[in-house]
Structure 1
Amino acid sequence: MPEKEAQARPKMVTASVLLIGDEILSGRTRDSNLSYIATHLNKIGIQVREARVIPDIEDVIVAAVNELRARYDYVFTTGGLGPTHDDITADAIARAFGVGIDYHPEAVKVLDEHYKETGGEFTKARMRMARLPEGAVMIANPLSKAPGFQIGNVFVMAGIPMIMQVMLDSLTDRLEGGAAMQSRTVTAQIGEGTIAERLGDLQLRHPEVGIGSYPYYRGKSFGTSIVMRAVDSRALEKVEQEVVALMREFGVEPLMGDRS
């Protein structure tokens, strides 16, 4: 590949999200973190390529973290950082990296001051939240003060959405983004099955653009929205034009949808 062409190709930065917690798998807690993280990262040019929900089992956490941190530029975890016996994420992350875990002096100080200010007791259970893997760097938590942490390319955050969100905001300046994902939507009153084969051919010709087909029903009318996503605006524009031409070949006039 010519050097000039390689330099022109948009830089891709990828991430995965690991949602940790039996309460999510049981249905007791409805997750909202994945959507927030993916939207936040997309704005700074980091594409979430995979997400998993896993239980509070140390072996499972260790295996997932090690697999994902080797595959993606960044890994973001949520859940399991509280004071109870089943909050085992920090221990599992330490094991995944093959390092020890102990009380972090700065984390202890932050929590001690917090409980003195609020009148709460800094119990042994709450002290657990000051334990960080060796070599980890704190992620600030302006709300409840119990920190998250970063080790390598793994960012470990709380599961409570409001706390996770402020943690994500506080660590954003550590992240190196790439090209932001862009999208185009073309909608027409045509059955999904009518154009399915041609869309498949189009996808084979343009693997750099994700093409999704979404049928809709509104009263007695029905149709299909074709959503295209890519980081390369020129490739995206070309595929959009081909989808429009394809719709017209079938005798329907497409409508252009949202652009972001």
Structure 2
Amino acid sequence: MQQESPKGQAIITAALLVIGDEILSGRTKDKNIGYTAEYLTNIGVDLREVRVVADIEEEIVAAVNALRSKYNYLFTTGGIGPTHDDITADCVAKAFGVALPYHPEAVDILKKRFNGADLNEARMRMTRIPEGGTLVYNKVSGAPGFRIGNVFVMAGIPVVMQAMLDEIAPTLQTGKKMLSESVRADAREGDIGGPLGEVAKAFPDVTIGSYPFIDDKGPNTSIVVRAREEERLSAAVAAVREMLAGVQVSLQK
């Protein structure tokens, strides 16, 4: 799972599993993917894959097992609430082959949250943690997420998920952060496709992407260069700028 950068520094990888029928139906618009991707990038963890699955036990179990074995970390969002279709804890427990008991500390947290009066059967579902798991605290609404192995299980509500991610971040192993720089091409993507490909071949250790957009001047392209080493980033950006200068000359002829 763990890889190394060209200079021997660890590359830490992760996947995100988004769980819920409401995401796939379009009723709920996901806000967690982009936030998690940016957050992990900023701390030196590469988000390599995102999957969205329905509230179907066998599909969640299969996805958990596939992703946790492929990457250093797996983060899940959604499906840890009090209702019958909140089955993420059940599925993660099944994926690890462990029991799903009530966690004493989680019970205490919700007892304090609800003053013991409204801790009904539905809310008690949120205190079930796979055996061997540890709590991920939730400063927003109380009900915790959990960690088991390299899997972190978080809420789907964005503000709660973000609070949980803040709790998790200090515990993560991180690698060297990815650096990036954007270059405005002042050309259409089709004008630069070939030359940009040649630049990318010359810098195999650098990620170079092109992203078309339209502004008040018409169709244009943003080129994003990403690398872990400052000198490689600078060299690749210089090569991109040199290539663009040549393209501009050709377009003016």
TM-score (norm 2): 0.92
**3-state secondary structure, aligned to 1:13:** strand
Identity of aligned residues (%): 50
* Structure 1 CA distance for aligned equivalents of residues 184 and 218 of structure 2: 13
Does residue 135 in structure 1 map to residue 157 in structure 2?
no
**3-state secondary structure, aligned to 1:67:** helix
Per-residue deviation, 1:220? 4.5
* Structure 1 CA distance for aligned equivalents of residues 159 and 212 of structure 2: 34
Per-residue deviation, 1:16? 0.8
Per-residue deviation, 1:216? 2.8
1:16–1:74 contact (8 Å) kept in structure 2: yes
2:5–2:11 contact (8 Å) kept in structure 1: no
1:152 to 115, 137, 149: 149
In structure 2, the residue matched to 1:35 is 34
Name the stretch that deviates more: 226-235 or 122-131: 226-235
The code of the aligned residue for 1:79 comes to G
TM-score (norm 1): 0.89
Q: Which runs of 4+ in 1 moved over 6 A?
A: none
In structure 2, the residue matched to 1:124 is 121
1:171 to 143, 160, 168: 168
In structure 2, the residue matched to 1:113 is 112
In structure 2, the residue matched to 1:100 is 99
1:189–1:221 contact (8 Å) kept in structure 2: no
* Structure 1 CA distance for aligned equivalents of residues 101 and 5 of structure 2: 45
In structure 1, the residue matched to 2:90 is 91
- Identify if the C-alpha distance between structure 1 residues 7 and 182 changes in structure 2 by more than 3 Å, giving closer, same or farther: closer
1:144–1:163 contact (8 Å) kept in structure 2: yes
1:10–1:232 contact (8 Å) kept in structure 2: no
In structure 1, the residue matched to 2:239 is 242
1:79–1:89 contact (8 Å) kept in structure 2: yes
- Identify if the C-alpha distance between structure 1 residues 8 and 212 changes in structure 2 by more than 3 Å, giving closer, same or farther: closer
Per-residue deviation, 1:206? 2.2
Name the stretch that deviates more: 32-41 or 221-230: 221-230
The alignment covers a number of residue pairs equal to: 247
In structure 1, the residue matched to 2:52 is 53
Per-residue deviation, 1:7? 8.4
Per-residue deviation, 1:70? 1.0
Instruction: Give ranges in structure 2 of 5+ residues lacking alignment.
Output: none
Per-residue deviation, 1:108? 0.9
Name the stretch that deviates more: 72-81 or 39-48: 39-48
Per-residue deviation, 1:47? 1.2
* Structure 2 CA distance for aligned equivalents of residues 52 and 142 of structure 1: 27
1:17–1:51 contact (8 Å) kept in structure 2: yes
Map of 1:182-221 to 2, 5 A cutoff?
Answer: 182-221=179-218
Per-residue deviation, 1:33? 0.9
